[in-house]
């Protein structure tokens, strides 16, 4: 029989690393809808959601976007998007 009486003692916290912060927010058209993608500084996508949510507005408040994501650095992150969609994409650099 165990000495925990059915309840396990909490484990000690480990010094694990936190997630890296998102560096870019890309608003791009996808099939007639605007979507937002959060990307790390390495341009690895960490989230994708509807660009109409109010959180997008709060994240981009006061930021000026760069229009277009046609450079080779965006090829992997926006692969599958047309040249026109990428040319019209709004790229926000988020404060970390």
Dump pLDDT digits (tens) for 14-63: 777 778 899 999 999 988 899 999 999 999 999 999 999 999 999 999 99
Side by side, the strands of the sheet bearing 33-39 are 45-50, 33-39, 24-30, 90-93, 66-67
Q: What is the pTM of this model?
A: 0.79
- In the numeric block, which tokens belong to residue 56? 């997008």
Q: What is the pLDDT of residue 2?
A: 59
Residue 43's nearest CA partner among 7, 82, 2, 86 is 86
What are the angstrom distances between the C-alpha of 89 and each of 4, 10, 15, 27, 62? 56, 47, 38, 6, 18
The torsion angles phi and psi of 73, rounded to 5 degrees, stand at -65, -20
């Amino acid at each position: 029989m165990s000495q925990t009486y059915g309840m396990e003692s909490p484990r000690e916290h480990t010094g694990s690393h936190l997630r890296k912060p998102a560096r870019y927010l890309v608003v791009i058209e996808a099939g007639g809808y605007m979507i937002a993608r959060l990307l790390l500084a390495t341009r690895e996508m960490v989230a994708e959601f509807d660009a109409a949510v109010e959180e997008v507005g709060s994240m981009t408040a006061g930021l000026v976007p760069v229009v277009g994501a046609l450079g080779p650095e965006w090829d992997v992150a926006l692969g599958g998007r047309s040249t026109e969609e990428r040319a019209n994409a709004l790229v926000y650099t988020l404060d970390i």
